Amino acid sequence: MKISLFLKSKFALVFIVALAVFIAGCPAPIKKPPEEVSLVRQSRFSYPDFQDDLELDGLEHSILKSLEYLQRVPADRKYAFGEDRFDAAHMIKSLQHFLDFIRTSPTQKELESFIRSNYIVYQSIGRDQKGEVLFTGYYEPHLRGRLDKNEEYRYPIYALPTDLMKIDLSPFSEKYKGQSIVGRYTDQTVVPYFDRREIDEEKALVGRAEALAWVKDPVDVFFLQIQGSGKIFLDTGEVINVHYHGSNGRPYRSIGKLLIEEQKIPREEMSMQRIRSYLQAHPEEMASVFNYNPSYVFFKIEPEGPLGSLNVLLTPGRSVALDRRIFPHAALAFIQAKKPVVNSAGQIDRWVDCKRFVLNQDTGGAIRGPGRADLFWGNGPYAEIAAGHLAHTGQVYFLILKPDEPKG
């Protein structure tokens, strides 16, 4: 909701005063990152070996989705690649040229030569200024649910509340440019939106938000919010796709970190699966653990999914979530990470290299800074295992077509 709507109301003066108090008393506004260079241009001698451990058809699908997004934005919109800037028109040209080439089914040597002749490569500075990026994973959860609440299905998946507002602070001062806050208007003042405890325990959203569906397990709801999208298989046989629509604006806090610090789960055993098993074994702790993370995510129903933050379909193994404030949206990237080898019993035997081209098509509340990346694994048992256990370091590179005429 735009702030101008409120300035037209008879409460304009009250609102402005209340907003000043709100800004002073609530968690820090959503900020742009510091103006630092997060991508560093590489010399041809420091390019990585561009090997790809997947079939290229998935890469083609992912590139087409990035093109779908870029064709919707103004052609002159600028995207930062380190100290360089390229517009959307050039990014389209860059992706299309790469797509045309991989459709020729090139050999590894031909691909390497093509990139070195035609593309500029940038590396993320990482979390240590030396390129180290922590990789985690996410997946599309499948939940059983129904549209009506009963004794068994009693945990809601909420739509965006009607009284929640996201306020752009840019009109108030140049120092607030690019910043926003989330809250609600009540009793002629603006206050932070309800946190997780108020929503879950005090039922603060009754009458304020629609329940899109009801599920059996509160742990499923919590992890759905972490993943950002999923499928709900209804008792009627229908399937609905739910997708991230907004949050309550509260800061994200990791319950995994909490359980490690409280020595409930050893650091070396930490995974999504381990958290789930701990909570199932200690249901009396579930509420306090969940409430440690005050952030709460709201959903909308989409005709298809899963969708990323660019509102395009994600491609398993090819879509990656990065900090959208500092990395170019929809751009072609290359990662060097790890992936699990899972045996027939569903256990991880070992970790092997994961080197592939990906597209920057999503983001996440915990994905902040140049040292974090979240790889989308799809759905199913392997995806859930990979997403739940991946916590390895690697490297992220971005590729963009040289501004001069492409060769060969």
Q: What pLDDT was estimated at residue 11?
A: 42
**pLDDT tens readout for residues 174-225:** 888 888 899 999 988 899 999 999 999 999 999 999 999 999 999 999 999 9
Mean pLDDT on 290-309:
96
Task: Give the CATH number of the domain where residue 154 resides.
Answer: 2.40.240.50
Q: Are residues 238 and 316 in the same domain?
A: no
Q: Please, are residues 247 and 180 in contact by the beta-carbon 8 Å criterion?
A: no
H-helix segments, 157-213: 196-200
Q: Are residues 157 and 43 in the same domain?
A: no
| Residue 308, pLDDT above cutoff 70 | yes
Q: Give the residue from 371, 342, 6 showing the smallest Cα distance to 166.
A: 6
Q: Are residues 45 and 22 in the same domain?
A: no
* DSSP string for residues in 318-338: TEEE--TTTS-TT-EEEEEEE
Q: What pLDDT was estimated at residue 1?
A: 40
Distance CA 313, CA 61 (A): 9
Q: Are residues 354 and 320 in the same domain?
A: yes
Q: What pLDDT was estimated at residue 2?
A: 38
Q: Which residue has the higher pLDDT, 373 or 175?
A: 373
Domain end (from 274, 302, 330) = 302
Mean pLDDT on 293-321:
96
Q: Are residues 80 and 193 in the same domain?
A: no
The domain in which residue 62 lies consists of 39-139+308-401
Q: Give the residue from 237, 134, 178 showing the smallest Cα distance to 30.
A: 178
DSSP state for residue 159 in the 8-state scheme? B
Q: Are residues 16 and 151 in the same domain?
A: yes
Q: Are residues 124 and 148 in the same domain?
A: no
Task: Give the CATH number of the domain where residue 74 resides.
Answer: 2.40.40.10
Q: Are residues 100 and 167 in the same domain?
A: no
The type of residue at 31 is K
Rounding to the nearest 10 degrees, give the CA dihedral for residues 36, 42, 47, 52: 40
Distance CA 268, CA 274 (A): 11
Determine which of 4-18, 204-218, 308-322 has the lowest per-residue pLDDT on average. Answer: 4-18
What does pTM read for this prediction?
0.82
**Does 70 fall in a domain?**
yes
Tokens of residue 111, six digits: 């691909």
**Total number of domains in the chain:** 2
Distance CA 191, CA 194 (A): 9
Tokens of residue 217, six digits: 């397990």
**Does 346 fall in a domain?**
yes
Q: Using a CB cutoff of 8 Å and minimum separation of 24, what contacts does 378-384 make?
A: 378/139, 378/140, 378/316, 378/317, 379/139, 379/140, 379/141, 379/142, 379/231, 379/316, 381/342, 381/346, 382/342, 383/139, 383/140, 383/316, 384/139, 384/141, 384/272, 384/273
Tokens of residue 321, six digits: 């979530």
Q: Which residue has the higher pLDDT, 2 or 28?
A: 28
Q: Are residues 75 and 123 in the same domain?
A: yes
Q: What pLDDT was estimated at residue 406?
A: 54
Q: What pLDDT was estimated at residue 175?
A: 86
Q: Are residues 238 and 358 in the same domain?
A: no
**Does 72 fall in a domain?**
yes
Tell me the pLDDT band of 173, cut-offs 50, 70 and 90. Answer: confident
**Does 260 fall in a domain?**
no
**pLDDT tens readout for residues 48-85:** 999 999 988 899 999 999 999 999 999 999 999 999 99
Q: Are residues 43 and 85 in the same domain?
A: yes
| Residue 272, pLDDT above cutoff 60 | yes
Q: Please, are residues 348 and 387 in contact by the beta-carbon 8 Å criterion?
A: no
Tell me the pLDDT band of 7, cut-offs 50, 70 and 90. Answer: very low
Q: Give the 3-state secondary structure of residue 397.
A: strand
Q: What pLDDT was estimated at residue 14?
A: 45
Tell me the pLDDT band of 31, cut-offs 50, 70 and 90. Answer: very low
Distance CA 296, CA 300 (A): 14
Q: Give the residue from 355, 343, 354 showing the smallest Cα distance to 382.
A: 343
C-alpha angle 395/399/402, rounded to 5°? 150
Tokens of residue 193, six digits: 């939106």
Distance CA 264, CA 133 (A): 27
Q: Using a CB cutoff of 8 Å and minimum separation of 24, what contacts does 21-29 make?
A: 21/189, 21/190, 22/181, 22/183, 22/189, 22/190, 22/191, 22/192, 23/169, 23/181, 26/181, 26/183, 26/191, 26/192, 27/192, 27/249, 27/250, 27/251, 29/169, 29/176, 29/179, 29/180, 29/181
**Average pLDDT along the chain:** 91
Q: Are residues 321 and 236 in the same domain?
A: no
Q: Give the 3-state secondary structure of residue 366.
A: coil
Rounding to the nearest 10 degrees, give the CA dihedral for residues 202, 207, 212, 217: 20
**Does 286 fall in a domain?**
no
The type of residue at 6 is F
Work out the percent of the chain whose per-residue pLDDT is above 90: 82
Q: Give the residue from 198, 180, 146 showing the smallest Cα distance to 249.
A: 180
**Does 331 fall in a domain?**
yes
